[in-house]
Structure 1
Amino acid sequence: MPNHRSNGVRDLHASFFYKLMGFWAEQKLLMVMVLLVTIVYGLMVAPFDWEISWLPRNPVPVDAIPDIGENQQIVFTTWEGRSPKDIEDQITYPLTVSLLGIPGVKAIRSNSFFGFSTIYIIFKEDVEFYWSRSRILEKLNSLPSGTLPPGVQPSLGPDATALGQVFWYTLEGEGFGMDELRTMQDYYVRYALQASGGVSEVASVGGYVKEYQIDINPDAMRAHNITLPEVFAAVRSSNLDVGAGTIEVNRTEYTIRGLGFVRSVQDVQDSVIKVNESVPLSIKDEAVVSLGPEMRRGALDKEGAEAVGGVVVVRFGENPLQVIKNVREKIKEISPGLPSKTLPDGRVSQVKIVPFYDRTTLIHETLDTLKKALWEEMLVTAIVVIVMVNHLLSSVLISAVLPLAVLLTFIVMKLVGIDANIMALSGIAIAIGVMVDMGIILCENILRHMEENPSRGITLQMIRESAGEVGGAVVTSSLTTIISFLPVFSLTGPEGKLFKPVAYTKTFAVGSSLVLALALIPPLAHLFFQKRNLRKKTLLLVNAAIAFVGLWAAFSISWWIGGAAILVAVVKSVSLFLPESWKAKVPVILNLIALGFVIVLLTEHWLPLGPDKGFVRNVIFASSIIFGLLGVRKIFTAYYGPFLHWALDHKAQFLVIPISIILLGAVIWLGFARVFFFVPWTVEKFMPRQPVVTAQHIHGPDVKGDAAPPSMVQADNPVRKTWLWSKLSHTFPGLGKEFMPDLDEGSFLFMPTTMPHASIGEALDVIHKQDIGIRTIPEVESVVGKIGRVESALDPAPISMVETVINYHPEYKTDPVTGNRILDGDGKPIRNWRPEIRNPGDIWKEIIKAAALPGTTSAPKLQPISARIVMLQSGMRAAMGVKIRGKSLEEVEKVGLEVERYLKEMPSVEPASVVADRVVGNPYLEIDIDRKAIARYGIKIQDVQDVVEIAIGGKRLTTTVEGRERYPVRVRYQRELRDSLEALDNILVPGNEGVQIPLNLIAKVKYTRGPMTVKSEDTFLVSYVLFDKRPGTAEVDVVEAADNYLKHKISTGEFKLPPGTSYVFAGSYENQVRSERTLKIVIPLALMLIFLVLYFQFHSIPVSLNVFSGIFVAWSGGFIMLWLYSQPWFLDFSVFGVNMRQLFQVRPYNLSVAVWVGFLALFGIATNDGVIYSTYLDQVFGEKKFHSIKEIREATVEAGLKRVRPALMTTATTILALIPVLTSTGKGADVAVPMALPSFGGMTIDIITIFVVPTIYCFVKEFEFKRSLESSNSGKES
């Protein structure tokens, strides 16, 4: 029956697109201007490192991955010499309480270390970064008096995050001491690099900071009757410059300065303390003055030798790649001015700045991986279009839309402020196949109209009609693709920051391709598809011009562009002199030329089998994949009609196929036992209960004297014991869950810990040995380790914490200029790795073995960026851990050690990686003052504490000003008077009337254990138990299993939590749990929106549901592909000696957010074929009236045959365009492949939609026909 309502809607759509296409076809000048602006501005802002001399470049900001750290600020406070306990009680706790009241604060984490406090204030995501800093400063400036100890001033950390640590370097120079190098770093290199654009901070680490040390002799002071305050006053008054204004002499103004700053040890020694009986007593009479190293809380080691270095931190919101470029330019600028010296052997040694971690390499490698994949996708798409459209000009038009749409996407990214990174470019990569579909549908319909009316020629009217027919389908397909990604915009936290760029760029890419397809293809088709009867001489001139342009392009742009243009010009010129029978073959020859060029170009860039297999084998392999899939499409087209006839005649039997596919997808996703839970449940429901004799019954009466009755229990379920249930449950256990697949950064961050009581000397010895051991691994390129902290608020690390950056060689040797692999004599690429080292995981195992030392822990597998992200998000230095909260440090440590023991029993947990914080493991020497004793001698508490502070720890009195350099002046007792417990006992405290009292008479010096660091969250004490999963397990599954295991131990009474103590699992898995919770809500909403878009297109619920069914079929196909990738037999064969599992990155992939994003991309394109079919079926059934079911089926088959070509073309381009992504192996492929897999698998299965949609559509029409027939018959009878 005709659907008049849908006819009206279709007419409205056709009218709109009729006018729109007519406008663009007529306004060719406007189209050319749009085209030029897109090309020029797109080249200006493209994120790739293109050198275009004639064009100013302002590229999109670039980084490896988005900054997914928390929105946090740091409050840093120093209080020299104070223990972590004192710092926590007197600084961290009161500051945390005050800062909790700031608007927008989500949580506060804090660490109290020896001498300093670090407080992390985590704000909600919607709080602006610099606004939060201003609120913190307001709060700090308005703290009530007495909140903090006198002289303590908290400061705000740099306007950056730890993820901004993009460039680490060492200063190296033979013959230079550690103190000289540190001075250069602090007062020359650091400030020079900090002046580079976009740098927030340059922090120093390693070496020795120079210090004037005044080691006083208390015996001499007592003999000369000199007190400590007198020494302090003398030192301070000896380091002073003054200004005395100006005087005028002979009409010239002179500025007067009084010079008195300390410039040498001699200046300090000669400072007078007082005059005793006309004899001046100076510092040198009471103390030994020398230059020495300041006490340090951090050190750097490079391959077993101490080093001096620094870290460059990028300011928040800046372009990391540009900042590193600025830093490198600054290094080049200052390097000639770095100091040099002549060595004893006559050689001249100059200080050099040597980077050991530079994120530029990772950024470029990541961009190159995605750039290469994008380029290969475009070439694959061009091949598909040339073969399937079989019309050279159409192929050129369709293929041209892709690079233009990518350039337009870059423009929108620049305007909107989306950075280019692995996620953003992956969004474009997974959209390539969809982007070309619009052009295919438009061009294919224009060509079909030309074939149906060859005598009519190409006219504006034909352009309007052909575009009007499919315009609605094109826009609807684009809208469903865009809407499918709306759930990503609802993600919050780290997962939102990580995947929103994907959603933005995919939306921009699809929108750009839609705009360009509608704006460019109609006018260009009208311009180039017309047959012009030009004279032969004119055509020869045109061909000569093409050849000339090709010659210029061959030398200026690329040989293949120029060569293709010249060859086309030659063929077209020769064709002018051929007979008419031969001229008809010219288009075929041109198509073959274009196809050959693109295949050669694709193979040259792709080389899927590797360069060692030779060009010919790579061409054969690439062509086999592409033409093999296109051959399958040809077979589909050839047998489509008969098979569709069979499906329409046997609808029930046919629909079993898609229903089975959907069921299989559900079983793979959730697991067989979970999907078919109702089978054993039903059996249990009707099974009789059987009596079981209990132990109580055996042992006689219970406490009440009554016999204990036998208990009634359910017998074992026979279904679960069957071989079939066990086999299917094992084969389909369900997919594991994790937050994100690991990104290969090309380096490791090894973070073990030493014993809490280890001194800096012991920690240095440990890191020396570890670095030497790690450097012996052949695959390792460089090793630089750090203990303690750099001089920055961003690095709160105790002495016991080791951070070693390990850079390893790439698997294959490459040419430093071209980047191509270097081949041996047999044509095989030369490996940098030993035969037994197959992947970076094997290198990590070697590192763990080489770094194993007694007294050190192991470490979870981390990389520099991922480690910073984990620490920013959870405060822990591992992706998984348990946070234990309690009322006392002793309790949280005790619970942590129990949790450590239980986690080591878990089969899915790596036992060596389980490490609980040793909270109370640091030895303390506490001087407990006897108040009654000091009262007897008339001594105050303050007097004793001053002596203790100065005698042992020393006190900074002043700072010298020596040009640009600044050095502290410190006073303390001589070393032999403070380096043992006996010496401490004998420290003399001045009493009443000048009496000197030994410390052991007024105080008790005792050993005790205390914290090395005190951690807290929202004022509650906390400790961590870190752990890592075994290879092949999913992090969410591991955490859930561990949580259940601990709960089981609590329920059995084996694990008892003290009152006020609790634990919670934390880490990156929380992001997966949170995102899964969000997606459970928003994915159904997105599917509902897609259905509404389909409904507004068709205005029919049955038709919309029919098209919508494609989503479920494709969804199942995605899960089937994930399951196949986890099977050891899948693609386990070799072609030309190359294993296909390695080529296509076949390995198990867990259900991560990246995979879900891939499914969302699939949902948007899964309905495209259905939209194409249903749109045309609506048109056919709206124009005719049918009198029999046979006519309905014939019309369905006829409509299907007319739409099978564009449907298979769009599906083929989507599938084939993803193959370069699936075979990519560079940095970033770890994330891109999981996002591409669902679309690849889903669209492969979705081919069945070309049968499902017509079958269900026909069923609905047959049902309507039967119902109308019955109603007409009943009307006649009445």
Structure 2
Amino acid sequence: MHAPAARGRDRACGWGHVPVSLPEFSVRQIVLVNILFVVLMVAGWGAATRIPVDLFPDISFNAAVIITVWSGASPQEVERLVTQKLENEIEDITGIKEISSYSSESLSEILIDWDETLSEIEYESAVADLRAALDRVDDLPEDAETPFLRELSVSEAFNICMVAVVDKGDVGEFTLREVARDLKDHLERIPGLNRADLRGTRDRELRVLADKYRLAQYDLTLADLHRVILENNQNVPGGSFTDANDQEIRVRGLGNFVSAEQLAQTVVKKDPGGSHVRLVDVAEIESGFAKQRMIGRHNGDRNIMLGLSKLADKDIVDLVSEVRALIAVYGKTVPEGVELKVTWDGSQYVSARMNIMRNNLLLGVVFVVFILWLTLGFRNAMLAIVGVPFSFLVALILFPLFDITINSLSLVGFIMVSGMLVDDAIIILENIYRHVEEGRPLREAVVAGTEEVMWPVAAAIATTIAAFIPMLTVTGTTGEFMEVLPKTVTVCLLGSLLEALVILPAHYMDFGSRKKASESLSMSRQWPRIVQWSYGLRLRTERAIERLRERYIRGQRRVLAQRGPFLLMTVAALWFSFGVSCHVPVDLFPGDFNQIMVGVETPADFGLDQTDEVILGLEAALQPIRDELLDYSSYTGFSMTADENPVAGVNYGMIFISFPNSYANIANPDRVLRLVKDEMDQYQAAHPDKIVSLRVAPPRQGPPIGKPVAIRIQTDEYEQAKDIADQMKRALADIPGVYNIEDNLPVGPRELRVALDEHRASLHGLTFQDIAFALLAANDGVVPSTFKDPRSDEDVDIRVMLREDQRTSISDLLDVEVRTPAGYRVKLSDVVRIEVDRGYQRLYHRGTRRTVTVYADVDRDLGTSLSVNQIMQALFRDIPSRYPGVSVIFGGEYQETDRSISDLKRAFGIALLAIFGILAAQFRSYLQPLLVMSVIVFSFIGVIIGMAIMNLLVGGYALSFYVMYAMVGLAGIVVNDSLVLIDFINKARDRGASPIEAVVEGSRKRFRPILLTTVTTVTGLLPMAIGLTGYSRVFGPFATAIVFGLSVASLLTLFVVPTLYLTLEDGKTALAQRFGRVSDGIGEGLPPPIRSAGS
């Protein structure tokens, strides 16, 4: 009679004044909770459709680059007159961590590394200071271009795809160029595309090819032609006047050339008799292109390439789809003989790897569902598993707040927690189910079962979060790159906690099991056979778990009876794992790839055509393995340095090779790399005189950490640094597994150094500027002006130079004439001295000091970056004493690794302190947190043994930086089971049980949850660990570390933690017998911890 009224009062006080727990609120406000659940799920799904997809997080490199072009200048001139002046102006700007630069022919590049600790406001202020400093530099050479500043990020630095405009029918360079330029304009209109960079195209120009004999015949010089063209190709304002109607009219003098014919008829020397000398009388006018400095091919056909990059917040898959759609339509309009082709598709690379991650995630979830169904029943399994998509979708809602995209690292975070997300639900459901089995009313069972474990569950999630959050303290590009992982794990676990404490109790009221397992299973006999079979399987699983639990209790009693020997054996196993760790290969930053770069340097005196012959030969050498490859594109006149910076020069070449994204290639791309390297090495061995260096390597993926070996030699003299670099290269060649050995100070081609004979020049009134102008005009030519082509609306340079057949030797250049202030002509040979020497092609600075860097790669099967650098440090530790003033810095991967590992150690220490604090608050004890945390140390046994086993059976499982991240995160995961176990032992002690009785009771009650939470987490990660739907060499070992570490830790939780608990009790008893009653810090002597209502 009173029940309805009571229910009415419950509804009335749903927002009542009496404080209620979260579980009690949930069961009172079921409608509100269900509305909240649906709203969050829908919002999360909407967020998922808006978050961009990419392979890696878009991080800022904390870097900017200053580019200055000075056409025709040598590397030494660029270094002295451009690079050093800019460095001196910017080196004192606050916020700059390091300045590095290189000077090459016609180009200065200065890289600014910013301090990672700068706030956003400080960073913007520093960039503004940098721009202001560049504006203050006013003494650069007159013909040098204005320095250009560009900030660097992942999305803008890497191409999302490459598009080739291929000449398949000898259509010619002009047609190919017009198609490529027009396609570029169309592509850059796609929203989200940052830019489309043309590679292999040349600017149009009108060349005025002067005949030096005709110039002499008419008393003219190249400077005269330059002056006349400049004077006659101008629009000059002529002021304005007012006409008879009082209207103002502007006057402009038009002198623009509109055609090559008009240019040819320009008068260059007037004759009073009317026999004027025109440009056509002393020169040939030729329409063409600028000097060829690069040759591009795709699969052997000449081409122009477009490299596409995207904006940071755009989805690579959607963007490349738009690019392909545009190319499909635009390709129908191109001239016959022109083919458009996407030669490398970054979205396919991303999709293939993201599909592996997604498939591993889905398969892991399926495994978890199956385990839950077997052990908890269909209803409880569905109640538990709903927390997985709910937590994922809640996380996706929060992703934009933390600048997280859907990428490989965020998916790894999802996979990592996919099994963990059901752990809290399992603990709560199992406890509710236990109360239902005891015959308590449903609502009372739900509230009491949830409240009883609510604080241990919250503490367990807090300890896991506490293990991951300190990872955000790792600095550098590696830390910024990896910070997505702890952020993803944290938001997922918070979503899981919300679901477990608020959503789950309400759902159990609506859908949870009301009957005992035996009653539920007996009802299944009325159902179809498949259902009966499935429930029979469930019943057998329940019996198997029960038998396993009884065997465990018997085994635990034997272990507890021999506590000392068991603990000694456990410590011995720990030491054994340390010994095994020496045999686990180390690859701190592994990566997968589907591209291979072949970089070539030919002798310094080789021209573009000679280098192109070498590139053609290397392309031919690929034919025996052509079936293994997709495409290859080559560039003659362009390459990448060892640290993957672009470099131009006629004696450089590069071949980009792509191969299929098959699961086999993703799992072991080194197989294709070895095939390519073998073919390239054979060609080099057959043509040793044509190749100075040949480098075969994949492009670097992930955070930009540098080469495995990058030894920087800093000094004031390049010759001294070069000598030390040669010594180091010889030493590296003797270390097994070291290859691609080179330095970044290549000798340049022969250099004609022209010195002014000041005495003879002064007699004629000539300056060095007069001489330099004449040399430049004769050789590369000078551009006095441009004209606008009316057909293409394009600005075309007018270049004045000597005919090609009159500038083939030193004597030809010395025969060039220059006009003196007195008006007569003098040959250069009369006023200059000539020296032939060699310089360097590129000059590097680090921290404004001249620097030479020795680079090398390391075969991971034979050595590591750490081992090789340690050998080199031992061999060359005496450099400062042998060469005073010289500094040697071991950088690249070794330096980044050293810094990142130091940061990771600090993060691990912070994590341990945070976990200890949370456990101390939970247990109100000093020793019990240490007892719970003891499994962290022993979990590392599983990590090392697991890695060794998988590497022995399968191969490719190395101890990487990602595995170290997993070990830090594992610290927060493995304590969860021991936390709840100790909590139940404490409750048994509170009820008056003896230590041994409390341990056995707590172990018996927690065996099933510990087993289930371990199995679900392990099965959730198992597909990624062993690569059931495709193996990732980056994240496979990451998952393996957690699988084995958690498995061993859970086993030790069931035996080591109870053993340690009783060992501490033994110590307390011994102390009490000797000194009287002792407060042990385990729990006695302190106020009892606050218990939930269900306790």
TM-score calculated relative to the size of structure 2: 0.88
Alpha-carbon contact 2:360-2:1029 (below 8 Å) kept: no
Cα distance between partner residues in 2 of 1:887 and 1:333: 57
The reply to whether residue 1258 of structure 1 matches residue 1062 of structure 2 is yes
SS at match of 1:1028: strand
Cα distance per residue 1:158-184 (max 9 Å; x no partner): 765663322222112434545224532
* Cα distance, 1:310–1:294 mapped onto 2, change above 3 Å: same
- Aligned twin of 2:286: 290
- Aligned twin of 2:366: 379
Deviation at 1:399, TM superposition (A): 1.4
> Which of 633, 641, 644 is residue 556 of structure 2 equivalent to?
644
Cα distance between partner residues in 2 of 1:124 and 1:400: 44
Cα distance between partner residues in 1 of 2:981 and 2:665: 54
- Aligned twin of 2:40: 38
Cα distance per residue 1:355-406 (max 9 Å; x no partner): 21221111111211111111011001011111122x2210111112112212
- Aligned twin of 1:968: 797
- Aligned twin of 1:739: 588
Cα distance per residue 1:105-127 (max 9 Å; x no partner): 11111111111211111212244
* Cα distance, 1:333–1:243 mapped onto 2, change above 3 Å: farther
The reply to whether residue 1233 of structure 1 matches residue 1016 of structure 2 is no
- Aligned twin of 1:281: 277
- Aligned twin of 1:752: 600
SS at match of 2:858: coil
Deviation at 1:78, TM superposition (A): 1.2
The residue correspondences of 1:921-1070 to structure 2 (distance < 5 A) are: 921-962=748-789, 963-991=792-820, 993-1047=822-876, 1050=878, 1057-1070=882-895
The reply to whether residue 1220 of structure 1 matches residue 1023 of structure 2 is yes
Cα distance between partner residues in 2 of 1:1011 and 1:108: 21
Structure 2 residues not aligned, in runs of 5+: 1-16, 1079-1095
CA RMSD of aligned residues (A): 3.7
Cα distance between partner residues in 1 of 2:535 and 2:478: 42
Alpha-carbon contact 2:168-2:339 (below 8 Å) kept: no
Judge which range, 1076-1085 or 469-478, deviates more: 1076-1085
> Which of 126, 131, 141 is residue 137 of structure 1 equivalent to?
131
Alpha-carbon contact 1:203-1:790 (below 8 Å) kept: no
* Cα distance, 1:587–1:137 mapped onto 2, change above 3 Å: farther
> Which of 464, 467, 474 is residue 481 of structure 1 equivalent to?
464
The residue correspondences of 1:674-693 to structure 2 (distance < 5 A) are: none
> Which of 367, 374, 387 is residue 354 of structure 2 equivalent to?
367
Cα distance between partner residues in 2 of 1:1078 and 1:160: 23
* Cα distance, 1:26–1:126 mapped onto 2, change above 3 Å: same
Alpha-carbon contact 2:67-2:149 (below 8 Å) kept: yes
The reply to whether residue 1197 of structure 1 matches residue 996 of structure 2 is no
SS at match of 2:936: helix
Cα distance between partner residues in 2 of 1:16 and 1:499: 45
Deviation at 1:74, TM superposition (A): 1.5
The reply to whether residue 1088 of structure 1 matches residue 882 of structure 2 is no
* Cα distance, 1:117–1:666 mapped onto 2, change above 3 Å: same
SS at match of 1:279: coil
* Cα distance, 1:629–1:775 mapped onto 2, change above 3 Å: farther
Alpha-carbon contact 2:869-2:894 (below 8 Å) kept: no
The reply to whether residue 407 of structure 1 matches residue 393 of structure 2 is yes
* Cα distance, 1:638–1:464 mapped onto 2, change above 3 Å: same
Cα distance between partner residues in 2 of 1:1096 and 1:444: 25
SS at match of 2:103: strand
> Which of 318, 328, 341 is residue 354 of structure 1 equivalent to?
341
SS at match of 2:506: helix
> Which of 971, 975, 980 is residue 1172 of structure 1 equivalent to?
980
SS at match of 1:1230: coil
Alpha-carbon contact 1:178-1:208 (below 8 Å) kept: no
Q: Which residue type is aligned with residue 391 of structure 2?
A: A
TM-score calculated relative to the size of structure 1: 0.76
* Cα distance, 1:159–1:1200 mapped onto 2, change above 3 Å: closer
Cα distance per residue 1:1184-1217 (max 9 Å; x no partner): 2x5xxxx542342123112111111111112222
SS at match of 1:307: strand
Q: Which residue type is aligned with residue 1014 of structure 2?
A: T
Cα distance between partner residues in 1 of 2:510 and 2:486: 35
SS at match of 2:160: strand
- Aligned twin of 1:806: 657
Alpha-carbon contact 1:1015-1:1023 (below 8 Å) kept: yes
Deviation at 1:297, TM superposition (A): 3.4
Alpha-carbon contact 1:17-1:464 (below 8 Å) kept: no
* Cα distance, 1:214–1:1251 mapped onto 2, change above 3 Å: same
Cα distance between partner residues in 1 of 2:356 and 2:290: 47
Q: Which residue type is aligned with residue 169 of structure 1?
A: V
- Aligned twin of 2:227: 233
- Aligned twin of 1:269: 264
Cα distance between partner residues in 2 of 1:785 and 1:163: 20
Cα distance between partner residues in 2 of 1:106 and 1:279: 67
Deviation at 1:838, TM superposition (A): 8.6
Alpha-carbon contact 1:211-1:969 (below 8 Å) kept: yes
Judge which range, 802-811 or 1259-1268, deviates more: 1259-1268
> Which of 653, 670, 690 is residue 565 of structure 2 equivalent to?
653
> Which of 1043, 1052, 1058 is residue 1248 of structure 1 equivalent to?
1052
Cα distance between partner residues in 1 of 2:1029 and 2:829: 67
Alpha-carbon contact 2:866-2:894 (below 8 Å) kept: no
- Aligned twin of 2:1092: none
Deviation at 1:1176, TM superposition (A): 0.9
The reply to whether residue 1098 of structure 1 matches residue 1094 of structure 2 is no
Deviation at 1:1020, TM superposition (A): 1.4
Q: Which residue type is aligned with residue 61 of structure 1?
A: P
Cα distance between partner residues in 2 of 1:941 and 1:174: 49
> Which of 101, 107, 112 is residue 116 of structure 1 equivalent to?
107
Alpha-carbon contact 2:463-2:972 (below 8 Å) kept: yes
Q: Which residue type is aligned with residue 1154 of structure 1?
A: Y
Cα distance per residue 1:990-1023 (max 9 Å; x no partner): 3465443332232222210111111112221122
Deviation at 1:240, TM superposition (A): 4.3
* Cα distance, 1:775–1:909 mapped onto 2, change above 3 Å: same
> Which of 735, 743, 746 is residue 916 of structure 1 equivalent to?
743
Cα distance between partner residues in 2 of 1:1095 and 1:860: 56
Q: Which residue type is aligned with residue 848 of structure 2?
A: T
SS at match of 2:691: coil
SS at match of 2:296: strand
Alpha-carbon contact 1:881-1:1025 (below 8 Å) kept: yes
The reply to whether residue 890 of structure 1 matches residue 719 of structure 2 is yes
* Cα distance, 1:863–1:838 mapped onto 2, change above 3 Å: closer
Deviation at 1:429, TM superposition (A): 1.1
- Aligned twin of 1:784: 633
Judge which range, 755-764 or 70-79, deviates more: 755-764
Cα distance per residue 1:672-695 (max 9 Å; x no partner): xxxxxxxxxxxxxxxxxxxxxxxx
- Aligned twin of 2:418: 432
SS at match of 1:752: strand
Q: Which residue type is aligned with residue 806 of structure 2?
A: L
Structure 1 residues not aligned, in runs of 5+: 1-14, 47-56, 341-348, 533-578, 597-622, 670-732, 813-830, 1131-1140
Q: Which residue type is aligned with residue 553 of structure 2?
A: G
Q: Which residue type is aligned with residue 1059 of structure 2?
A: T
Cα distance between partner residues in 1 of 2:867 and 2:490: 35
Deviation at 1:86, TM superposition (A): 0.9
The reply to whether residue 180 of structure 1 matches residue 213 of structure 2 is no
* Cα distance, 1:744–1:195 mapped onto 2, change above 3 Å: same
Alpha-carbon contact 1:1118-1:1238 (below 8 Å) kept: yes
Alpha-carbon contact 1:848-1:858 (below 8 Å) kept: no
The residue correspondences of 1:375-774 to structure 2 (distance < 5 A) are: 375-389=362-376, 391-453=377-439, 456-459=440-443, 461-529=444-512, 583-585=523-525, 636-669=548-581, 733=582, 735=584, 737-741=586-590, 743-774=591-622
Deviation at 1:1261, TM superposition (A): 4.2
Cα distance between partner residues in 1 of 2:241 and 2:511: 85
